[in-house]
Amino acid sequence: MATSLHRWLRRLEQRSPEARIELGLDRVRSVLDRLPRLPARPVITVAGTNGKGSVVAMMEAIARAAGLATVAYSSPHLLDFRERIRVNGDPVGAAELVAALDEVEAARGQVDLTYFEHVTLAALALAARAQPDLLLLEVGLGGRLDAVNVVDADVAVITSIGLDHQDWLGSTRLAIGREKAGIARAGRPLIVAERRLPRGMLEVLQASRARLCLAGRDFRWRAEAGARLRVTWSDRSVVLPRPALAGPWQAANAACAVTALRQLPDDCGLQEQHFARGLENVALPGRLQRVSSHPEVWLDVAHNGPAARALAQGLGPAVGRSTAVFGLLAGKDARAIGRALDRCFDRWLVAPLGGDRDRSGESLAQSLRDIPVTGRVEAVESVPVALKLALQDSAPEDRVVVFGSFRTVAAAWPELHQPDGR
């Protein structure tokens, strides 16, 4: 059946490459109307420049700690396509996913769907079949015209607003924020974790007529001693474990996840111990993940300027030498990433990623040299080669950081042996 799934994905790629983007809901809605109806259960939709996957993973872990049945849809995947659709915390089975893709194919008729639209509809077909207590949807691009927005969210979440996907969403944070706010529904909660709203964004949020819950105004968080996290609302305050995901920014994501889940009906049964257990147990590969200690090897999917700044903050100063293994898709802002991480590395090993939206190692290296970044910049033939070079030249006290894209981390993964980190 895994072979059948591989054939299905290859078929989708041949018909409509994954890189093809056609924003709009009419095609998706017309096919969804021909599929089984989704259960009358709460739906939480998450948009944002960064942090979406972490917030979805945290909400999923908390809901599972409470014994709730869940379906979570996110993208892209890291190692296995089935990671994109999780049923009760586990990747969907290949046979079930093939059946859902078949179901969408039969329902679409002559409707021309993109790769992402077809997969999104398959995820919704699986949710209709699974009848979960909670459906979690991560926006792929923007929000207003993204395929997941065909479903009305009971709770909407915006994690952050940064400059990314500007060809599609606009050239300013306000324009991008307006697109993300399109997931809100009048009279329903909208959680916004971005504390530094662009000028004019508050008016955009108010115009949605959603019930706003804004970071810094309606909920707050702070780290406390003993690896604890305090989250405060107008009516109460709780002290929880800091999330198991590394990085100081995960405190904001945890506060956002807990705040969103508090909007669910009381009959969902979520209690403080479920929040605590979920945050303690949440796992999400490739997010500031240490997989080796001597030398330290870190993996991170940071692929834009805001994420690179967070990565720089999370890494801190290196004890020994620090080497970057870096690959980036075409269309991403290499200079913004390079500036954010300028003083973090003594050496940059940059490589192409292959496939659609490929960018040559030499082109990427030249972008870094043009800044110029601190440290020597070298173009190599592939991410695995770059990682091998980095490890060969590193002493036990040194550090290697693999980042730039999900694809960069995925390409490095087979070269790494038994993980010993988080």
Q: Report how far residue 244's alpha carbon sits from residue 106's, in angstroms, rounded to the nearest whole number.
A: 42
**Tell me: the pLDDT tens digits for 133-171?**
999 999 998 889 999 999 999 999 999 998 776 676 778
Average pLDDT over residues 2-14: 88
**Tell me: the pLDDT tens digits for 178-224?**
999 999 999 999 999 999 999 999 999 999 999 999 999 999 999 99
2-281, what's its fold?
Answer: UDP-N-acetylmuramoyl-L-alanine:D-glutamate ligase (3.40.1190)
Pairing between β-strand 211-214 and β-strand 189-192 as defined by DSSP bridges: parallel
Question: What residue segments make up the domains of the chain, in order of their start?
Answer: 2-281, 289-415
For the chain, the C-alpha Rg in angstroms (whole number) is 21
Report percent pLDDT > 70 for the chain.
97
* Per-residue pLDDT band at 2 (split at 50, 70, 90): low
**Tell me: the pLDDT tens digits for 262-275?**
999 887 899 999 99
What pLDDT is stored for residue 171 in this prediction? 81
Q: Report how far residue 312's alpha carbon sits from residue 339's, in angstroms, rounded to the nearest whole number.
A: 10
pTM to 2 decimal places: 0.93
Q: Which long-range contacts (CB under 8 A, 24 or more apart) does 268-274 make?
A: 268/42, 268/63, 268/66, 268/68, 268/133, 268/134, 269/66, 269/67, 269/68, 270/62, 270/63, 270/66, 271/66, 272/238, 272/240, 273/65, 274/62, 274/63, 274/65, 274/66
Is 289-415 assigned to CATH 3.90.190.20?
Answer: yes
DSSP state letter for 215: B
**Tell me: the pLDDT tens digits for 320-350?**
999 999 999 988 899 999 999 998 999 999 9
What pLDDT is stored for residue 417 in this prediction? 61
* Per-residue pLDDT band at 422 (split at 50, 70, 90): very low
